[in-house]
Amino acid sequence: MQASFKDRLKYKLERFLSRGGGSIFLSLSLVFVAGFLIIISLRWLLFLFFPELNYFDNFLTDIWVVFLQMTDPGNMNQDNEAPFWLKITSILAGLLGVILLSMLIAFITTTLEAVFYEFRKGRGRVLEQNHTLILGWNERAVDVIRELIMANESEKKASIVILAKEDKEVMDNKIAKRLPQTKNTTIITTTGDYANVNELRRVHVAGAKSVVLLANCSESASKADKEISDVQAIKSIMAIISCQQGQNQLPIIAELFSPEKRALINFFDDPQIIALDSWNIMGKLLVQTSLTSGLEVVYSEIFSFDGCEVYFYEPNDWKSVEFYAASYQLRDGIPLGIYRADKGLQLRPAKGTLLQPGDQMLILANDDSTIQLEAVPFFQAQDLRLNGGRIEQQQKKILILGWHDVANIFIREAAGYLLSGSSFDILFDQANEHLQNSIQVLQAEYPDFVIRLINANPMTLEALQQQKPYDYHNIIVLSQDLREQSVDKIDADTLVILLLLRTIAKHTESHQTKIITQVLNSENQEIITQTDVDDFIISNRLITMILTQLSENPLIKLFYDDIFSEEGSEIYVKPAHLYFNEFPVQLAFGSVMHLANQRDEICLGIRKGKWSKQASENFGVQLNLAKDTSILLEENDFLVVLSEDEL
């Protein structure tokens, strides 16, 4: 059936108006002009047939009067003395003006509201260059921004752009509350789908220097929510590559929960695209911290941009300098390893290894701008005799209060470090079938260890006292609810348990038990330090440090892979009596480094035992001291070393 002229005209009008605000404004303007011309024409015809009606005696004046009447009906009184028929046209002009101008004002108001709404939502185009782009929003976002602000301190001007599905006002309020000073860094938030190509182009992803992809749910979320988060991350990575004409030039650091989804990242065959397993890293950190007291403080300083950091350094000419001898030609920096493109990263290379053209040295230094290899050594280390002591390994008893998936990783990782016969007791209130099955699987997988699930509530003093917690070597405090997703609720429960443990400790004779707790909100660190915890893991803070370090230099992942692996070199805090026979001893830090080299270790710094509980003294940890700094070591002090094992 063929459409009628009326239907076709209606269809074209609808299509024209559907184009948006410009079409509507133009339509209203045309109707106004048409009405104006019609009324002028009516008055002209009246004047033509009835000349006596033209009381102005000037048609141009009459046109002006009609315009005033249409734009402001109050001007209709200018025709008070006009004949009856002219008053009819005045009434038409006033009514038409009221209708059209009301519609136009309503349209302008609605349009302005939409514009302001877009402003509030941050829907405008981002024109930043060389910015760090954060995609997604979770409880770690503010900590990531804080680390990036510190990383940008050496730049004149820097910017961070956040694109997330979270409301812009919510993000702005959280940032303003927790980060009142952003120094030289501009922070721009915007709301949108970060897996959408057009949205990524709007935030100028092609002009960014790196991309950090945050998970859109916590580790406590359901399996379905984690799956959605991982799929969103994979789509976002593909969209980012698409915005670069199919050739990725950006470091992309993504949080992924599923091992299968992380394996998909290998499909891109791009070393700049890194999938981070936050919980796996946390499990390894818990293990290493349980073995070495003070390690969390060391990690916090190395991983953060506030303090010492690790850098890759390559001068114009190495001049065939020996790796360990290079330490005394660097006023700032401690060499940790060598990176060669064909062999990868080697920490603690063999003695006598010469640096060759193309080699990059991994260095712990205060800043990359202060690293400079001098032509000749500026420090001569004192030749000391090594004590040669070793730590005797023993079976360990570990008490886990609460449970989380990270505990699964902790037990699996600890099995590679501990002697057979070591035990894990898990205290959990009313464990569900899933947890019971997890414990059974672990016990079957590691028959040389004792893994027991004890049904008791660790948040009650009676249950804790009955378990005799200070008979254990280590106490690990985790989440008390398998379904709890509120970081504040988890941290509050943790604080209650720590206070209960502190109460029990007052009535307990001297003990060597180390308490390690997982704290999700970094703002609770100061509170936790008041509960006599030997080491505390600020999970969000440490993970964000790693995220931001990788965003600045993806090659750093080789270092993390090594120190978090049982087979590689790890960082340990070892007692000073392993190195010296008599105390106190005073000598230069460079000589301490030389002594550690005799054990095939690299000394990164020291930890003063008397300051181990004092946050103002960085809990006694001092890293990357000047080689000629004189230090006084006492029997309860420690050396921070890069070593093959804890012995």
- Dmax (CA) for the chain in angstroms is 126
Q: 427 pLDDT band (50/70/90 cuts)?
A: very high
- Give the pLDDT confidence score for residue 211 in this predicted structure: 93
pLDDT at 289 over 90: no
- What average pLDDT score do residues 39-52 get? 76
* Tens digit of each residue's pLDDT (9 = 90 or more) over 299-311: 888 888 877 889 9
Beta-bridge partner residues of 638: 575, 607
Q: Please count the other Cβ atoms lying within 10 Å of the Cβ belonging to residue 500.
A: 21
**Structure tokens given for 133:** 């782009």
Cis bond before residue 349 (omega within 30° of 0): no
Q: Is 320 left (phi over 0), alpha (psi -120 to 50) or beta?
A: left
- What average pLDDT score do residues 623-636 get? 91
More confident residue, 646 or 170: 170
**Structure tokens given for 197:** 């190509």
Start-end of H helices in 478-616 = 487-506, 525-528, 539-552, 557-563, 589-597
pLDDT at 112 over 80: no
> b/e string for 24-40 if b means 16 or more Cβ within 10 A?
beeebeeebeebbeebb
More confident residue, 31 or 272: 272
pLDDT at 107 over 70: yes
- What average pLDDT score do residues 141-146 get? 89
Sheet holding 397-401, edge to edge: 450-455, 423-428, 397-401, 474-477, 514-519, 535-538
Both ends of the chain: CA-CA distance in Å?
91
pLDDT at 98 over 90: no
Q: Which of 344-358, 521-535, 601-615 has the lowest mean pLDDT?
A: 521-535
- Give the pLDDT confidence score for residue 21 in this predicted structure: 61
Q: 7 pLDDT band (50/70/90 cuts)?
A: low
- What average pLDDT score do residues 69-80 get? 69
3-state SS assignment for residue 206: helix
Mean pLDDT of the chain: 83
- Give the pLDDT confidence score for residue 452 in this predicted structure: 92
- Give the pLDDT confidence score for residue 541 in this predicted structure: 78
Rounded to an integer, what distance in angstroms lies between the CA atom of residue 614 and that of residue 637? 14
φ, ψ (nearest 5 deg) of residue 258: -85, 135
Rounded to an integer, what distance in angstroms lies between the CA atom of residue 605 and that of residue 624? 6
- Give the pLDDT confidence score for residue 49 in this predicted structure: 72
**CB hemisphere CA count around 446 (13 angstroms):** 24
Q: Is the dihedral of CA 180, 185, 188, 194 positive or negative?
A: negative
**CB hemisphere CA count around 525 (13 angstroms):** 19
Q: 607 pLDDT band (50/70/90 cuts)?
A: very high
Q: Is 6 left (phi over 0), alpha (psi -120 to 50) or beta?
A: alpha
- What average pLDDT score do residues 170-191 get? 89
Q: 223 pLDDT band (50/70/90 cuts)?
A: confident
Give the DSSP letter of residue 543. H
Residue 448 · residue 420 · CB < 8 Å: yes
109: amino acid identity, one letter? T
Q: 35 pLDDT band (50/70/90 cuts)?
A: confident
- Give the pLDDT confidence score for residue 180 in this predicted structure: 86
- pTM, two decimal places: 0.75
Angle between helices 141-151 and 168-178 (to 10 degrees): 60
Residue 246 · residue 540 · CB < 8 Å: no
* Tens digit of each residue's pLDDT (9 = 90 or more) over 540-582: 778 888 888 888 888 898 998 888 877 778 898 888 888 888 8
pLDDT at 18 over 60: no
The CA R_g of the chain, rounded to the nearest whole Å, is 36
Rounded to an integer, what distance in angstroms lies between the CA atom of residue 265 and that of residue 262? 5
Q: 135 pLDDT band (50/70/90 cuts)?
A: very high
* Tens digit of each residue's pLDDT (9 = 90 or more) over 377-406: 888 888 888 777 776 777 889 999 988 878
Rounded to an integer, what distance in angstroms lies between the CA atom of residue 475 and that of residue 410? 13
> b/e string for 186-195 if b means 16 or more Cβ within 10 A?
ebbbbbbbbb
Number of H helices, E strands in the chain: 19, 22
* Tens digit of each residue's pLDDT (9 = 90 or more) over 549-558: 888 888 898 9
* Tens digit of each residue's pLDDT (9 = 90 or more) over 343-379: 889 999 999 899 989 899 999 998 888 889 888 888 8
Q: 218 pLDDT band (50/70/90 cuts)?
A: confident
Percent pLDDT > 90 in the chain is: 23
